[in-house]
């Protein structure tokens, strides 16, 4: 094959690929236009807001070692390490703004096309963009729970108390890991002072599901029920590496509910999906929203 023939073959392949992509996009737009869309979102939806993820490119650069539930509850020094890092990183979470992807999901919900949102994220950005009724599968960093009496409170109140106990701490600079953990030295961590529940003196924990901790069964059942009523399960920005989110893809596929995935990179659920797109979430969802106007 000479150079001209090679160029012609390459052009034909490119044109065929473009046609197939356009066909898949049209199919996705038609499915969303039919309504009853349930969104399952992951960390990839929030990376454009500056929040790193664990498994995408930003997460790989940081090589994060997330806190496990067992370590947190069994070690006072581990809790000090967690709260020191989290307190410093909290401003990164609270200052983050919804991006175009969050806003597009909220707009599709406003139009009545999205009937439910399940998020694996703990940053609250769906709600900040105007979405409502969001099921926070793994909880939210915006709340704190006492492991003694069960009281739940606002994170900003804990932040106020920790600032009072650690003057000047919040002005430090550090690299931020996924879920708002800052990178600190052991010496820095040892100077940090934690606080307990004001009501019972119990241990305070962020109201999120740590690694090694189970999602409350009632929350899981709510997600299953929502999935069963879906006309389309639309996965946004999740590699589906952990079963916590992947189970809903399997649940939908087993009931012949179409699954569409938009993510940067392959996912564990690609085999169950009717449609997959490897694309940045913000531009893709903005285009989808415009196509459905």
Lowest mean pLDDT, pick from 66-70, 144-148, 269-273: 66-70
At 7, is the pLDDT very low, low, confident or very high (cuts 50, 70, 90)? very low
Q: Which ranges of 34-75 would DSSP assign to H, the alpha helix?
A: 57-62, 69-74
User: Rounded distance, CA 293 to CA 278, Å?
Assistant: 23
pLDDT digits (tens, 9 = 90+) for 130-144: 999 999 999 999 999
CA distance 153 to 280: 35
User: Which residues are part of a known binding site for NAD(+)?
Assistant: 120-123, 237-239, 263-265, 281
Whether 29 is covered by a domain: the verdict is no
Annotated binding site for Zn(2+): 146, 149, 197, 200
Alpha carbons within 13 A on the beta-carbon side of 189: 17
Q: For strand 152-154 and strand 204-208, is the pairing parallel, antiparallel, or unpaired?
A: unpaired
pLDDT class of 155 with cuts at 50, 70, 90: very high
| pLDDT tens digits for range 190-245 | 999 999 999 999 999 999 999 889 999 999 999 999 999 999 999 999 999 999 99
Q: Which residue is listed with tokens 């410093």?
A: 88
Residue 19 lies in a domain: no
State mean pLDDT over 175-182: 65
- Whether this model's pTM surpasses 0.75: yes
Residue-level pLDDT at 184: 84
Q: Decide if 24 is inside a domain.
A: no
16 lies in some domain: no
The answer to whether position 107 is within a domain reads yes
pLDDT of residue 185: 85
Distance CA 69, CA 83 (A): 14
Residue 174 has pLDDT above 80, yes or no: no
Q: Is residue 233 part of a domain?
A: yes
User: 64 versus 249: which is more confidently predicted?
Assistant: 249
Q: How far is CA 264 from CA 148, 228, 276, 278, in A?
A: 41, 26, 10, 5
Residue 27 in domain:
no
Q: Is 92 a catalytic residue?
A: no
Mean pLDDT of 45-68: 67
Q: What is the pLDDT of residue 3?
A: 42
* Candidate list 87, 138, 142, 251, residue with the active-site label: 138
Reported as half-sphere exposure (CB side, CA atoms, 13 A), residue 82 has a value of 23
Residue 58 has pLDDT above 80, yes or no: no
* Per-residue confidence band for 11, with pLDDT thresholds at 50, 70 and 90: very low
| Residue 35 in this model has a pLDDT that exceeds 50 | yes
Average model confidence (pLDDT) across the chain: 88
Residue 21: pLDDT band with limits 50, 70, 90? confident
- pLDDT tens-place string over residues 70-98: 999 999 999 999 999 999 888 888 899 99
* CATH label of the domain that carries residue 47: 3.40.50.1220
Domain extent for 51: 34-291
Count of structural domains within the chain: 1
Percent of the chain with pLDDT over 70: 86
Residue 247 forms part of a structural domain: yes
pLDDT computed for residue 12 by the predictor: 40
Q: What is the pLDDT of residues 234-269, one digit of tens each?
A: 999 999 999 999 999 999 999 999 999 999 999 999
């Amino acid at each position: 094959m000479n150079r001209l023939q090679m160029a012609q073959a390459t052009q034909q392949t490119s044109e065929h690929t473009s046609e197939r992509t356009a066909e898949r996009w049209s199919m996705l737009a038609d499915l969303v236009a039919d309504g009853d869309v349930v969104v399952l979102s992951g960390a990839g939806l929030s990376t454009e807001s500056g929040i790193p993820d664990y498994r995408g490119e930003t997460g790989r650069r940081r090589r994060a070692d997330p806190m496990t539930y067992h370590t947190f509850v069994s070690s006072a020094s581990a809790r000090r390490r967690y709260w020191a890092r989290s307190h410093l990183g909290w401003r990164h979470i609270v200052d983050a703004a919804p991006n175009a992807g969050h806003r597009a999901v909220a707009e599709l919900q406003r139009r009545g096309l999205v009937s439910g949102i399940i998020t694996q994220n703990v940053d609250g950005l769906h709600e900040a963009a105007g979405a409502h009724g969001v099921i926070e599968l793994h909880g939210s960093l915006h709340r704190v729970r006492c492991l003694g009496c069960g009281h739940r409170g606002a994170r900003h109140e804990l932040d106020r108390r920790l600032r009072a106990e650690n003057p000047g701490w919040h002005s430090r600079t550090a690299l931020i890991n996924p879920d708002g953990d800052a990178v600190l030295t052991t010496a820095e961590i040892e100077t940090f002072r934690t606080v307990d529940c004001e009501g019972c003196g119990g241990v305070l924990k962020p109201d999120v599901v740590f690694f090694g901790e189970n999602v409350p069964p009632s929350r899981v059942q709510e997600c299953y029920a929502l999935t069963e009523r879906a006309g389309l399960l639309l996965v946004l920005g999740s590699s589906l590496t952990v079963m916590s989110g992947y189970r809903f893809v399997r649940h939908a596929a087993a009931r012949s509910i179409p699954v569409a995935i938009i993510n940067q990179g392959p996912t564990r659920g690609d085999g169950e999906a009717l449609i997959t797109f490897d694309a940045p979430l913000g531009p893709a969802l903005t285009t989808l929203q415009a196509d459905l106007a």
